[in-house]
Structure formats: structure tokens, C-alpha cells
Amino acid sequence: MMEDLISVILPIYNVAPYLPACLDSLLAQTYQNLEIILVDDGSPDEAPAICDEYARRDSRIVVLHQENQGLGAARNNGMALARGAYIAFIDPDDLVMKDYLEVLYRDMIEQNADIVCCNAVEELNGERYDSFCVREHRRIQSADICYRDSFVARERYGHIVWAKLIKTNLAKRYVSSSRLYAQDALYMLELFAESPVVYLDPYVGYVYIRWADSVTMKYGKHNVIQRIDNLATFQYGFRSTLPLSPETRRVIAESYAYGVHTAAATTILAKNGGFRQHRKMLLDCIRELRPAMGQLSRKNRLRLWLYQNLPGVYWLCIKALPLLGKA
């Protein structure tokens, strides 16, 4: 069961306190035929030295040092080095169970899959919470189903690149975006557009750790950049030329409309949110949604109409009333 080489790619930036535990969990894998590619993205801390020290300990570890280019470029450059038949992306401040790669590889072979997704648990301050990626065993060979799952958030497997094993010849067809947020979702939508065989396994193999200094925790709830970047995902789905079902297109349109609302509301609620700065872009999104307005819920139509035609009233609703819903 361990004939194929698996390439594990970790983008490294400012993670020195967490990196050793992640690497130890990889070196302890029951599946041993690995190459572990550490891409040091110009990290300013002790992480580069940690990478080099672990490479001296284990010949399976390859280290690439580069000037800071961002998470997407680090993943892309790691993929360029990958020699394995399969690729696994892991964030260097997370952990994996010791049989993580063995289980995913077995699923890949038994299901003749192109992508295998497992479940994950979230850890915050030492406490582990409910799993959130995969709820049941499923085998999917339909871009339509994968897209619908991604946009209704029934299961979050479509929103992340970790907690997965992906055939290298599929993974390398696309590159990761340079955006700060929504990189994973955009990349996965591109892969799903190829109608790969996707197998979902509720086995909990990945531990997603939320640190107090992580990007998502640092910027808090009203994060304008995150809301704006998320719109790229909704636009990608909305503009897709795939033969998606009417129901899936309706779900994507609703997600896009709600995404416009949450982005607009966040520009009001966030300190220095840039209400005027982002207004033209959000109005362009509303115009793009116009052909699908008849499919939207009454509440979403009201939200978009107010923002477009009565921005002052929209502002007051977001600031003082629950009428339009939470951002």
C-alpha cells in the first residue's frame, strides 16, 4: 500500500513556535514514502533554521528558501518541485494524525479517486471542537454537486486545500491565487470544474489550530479584505460556463448576493472600512447579478436594492436596525 510517493507541501512564514509539532506529526506518519517540501517564504523568524535542522535529520525533507512572495506563490513553487504521484497541502501551524496519509492514500486507491477529502477538528486554546469538513462517506463525480456543496456550505471540503490528497497531474493544472483570503476556495473550484472523482471520508485526520496571532483571528469579525476577497469566489461560480443545474445556479446567485451584502455591511461596520472606496466595485457586482434577480430571496433583493438606490437608508439599517441581517 506504500508504493507511490506522496509530496507534502508546507508554505512557511512566521510559524516558528508551531512548526516543530507539525513536522513531528509528519515524520511520525505510518505512510513513509514521502517527500516533505518546506517552502520558506522569506520568513523573518527562526522558521528557516528549523526547516534546515529538520532537513539534516531526515532526507525526505526538501527545503526551498525564497524571498517573500505570499502564500499562493509558496504553494505554487512547492508544486513545481513535487515529484510524487499525489500532493497533500498542510498548513505548518496545524497537525495531522499519524495515519492521516495512510488513510487518504488507501481511499484514493480503493475508490479510484482524483481527490480524497477527510474530516478535521478545530482547536482553539487547547480545546477541540466539532468536526466540520466532511459528515459522511460520499463518492462524487459531478462538478454540479461539488459546486452546490461549496456554495451552500453543507460541507466545507470545498473551501480548503488541506485535509486532502490530490493527484499531482490534477493539482498542477492550476495555481494558487495571490489573494490573502479565498485562495483555497478558488483553487478547489478550478479543480472541481474538471469533474474529478471526489471521495469524502469522515475520518478525522487533520487538526486545524486557530492561533491568537493568525490572520483570521488578528483582523476579527469585520474584516473588509476577507469579505472583498470572498466575492472573487462567488463571481467565479456565477460566471462559470459549466452545465450546472438551475438549482445550483440559484444557490450560487444567492451566495453571491449575500456576499455583496456582507461586504457592503462590513465597509460600514469596520473601522476605516472604506464604504466609498469599495462602492463602485460592489455596484458592478449588483449589475452583474441583475439577470438572476428573479431567483433571489426577497430579503437579498431588498438588501441589494437599498444599497444601490438608497445608500443612506442602507447605512442606517446596518448601523441601527436588524432589518437587513448580520454582516
pLDDT of residue 210: 84
Categorize the per-residue pLDDT at 325 as very low, low, confident or very high, splitting at 50, 70 and 90: low
* pLDDT number for residue 321: 66
Is the pLDDT assigned to residue 163 strictly greater than 80?
yes
Among 43-47, 125-129, 291-295, the range scoring the smallest mean pLDDT is: 125-129
- Ranges of H-type helices in 42-192: 47-57, 71-81, 100-111, 143-152, 168-171, 183-192
Contact in structure between 15 and 46 (CB atoms under 8 Å): no
Q: Is the pLDDT of residue 1 over 60?
A: no
For residues 117 and 92, give the distance between their C-alpha atoms in angstroms, rounded to a whole number. Answer: 18
Residues 6+ apart with CB under 8 A from 320: none
User: What's the pLDDT score for residue 221?
Assistant: 63
pLDDT single digits (tens) 175-189: 887 777 888 999 999
Record the cell numbers describing residue 193, joined without a space: 470544474
Q: Are 219 and 226 in contact (CB under 8 A)?
A: yes
Output the pLDDT for position 217.
47
From 102-116, 202-216, 247-261, the region with the lowest mean pLDDT = 202-216
CA distance 104 to 125: 28
**pTM of the predicted model as reported, rounded to 2 decimal places:** 0.92
CA angle 62, 89, 7 (to 5 degrees): 45
Sorted by where each begins, the domain ranges of the chain are 6-212, 220-320
DSSP 84-121: SSEEEE--TTSEE-TTHHHHHHHHHHHHT-SEEEEEEE
Confidence class of residue 126 from pLDDT cuts 50, 70 and 90?
confident
At 253, which helix (H) or strand (E)?
helix 246-269
What's the pLDDT band for 130 if we cut at 50, 70, 90? confident
Could you tell me the pLDDT band of residue 214, with boundaries at 50, 70 and 90?
Answer: low
As given in the structure block, the three cell numbers for residue 139 are: 463518492
| Residue 154 confidence class, pLDDT cut points 50, 70, 90 | low
The domain 6-212 having CATH identifier 3.90.550.10: the answer here is yes
Q: What is the reported pLDDT for 178?
A: 72
Q: Name the 3-class secondary structure at 261.
A: helix
Residues above pLDDT 90, as percent of the chain: 81
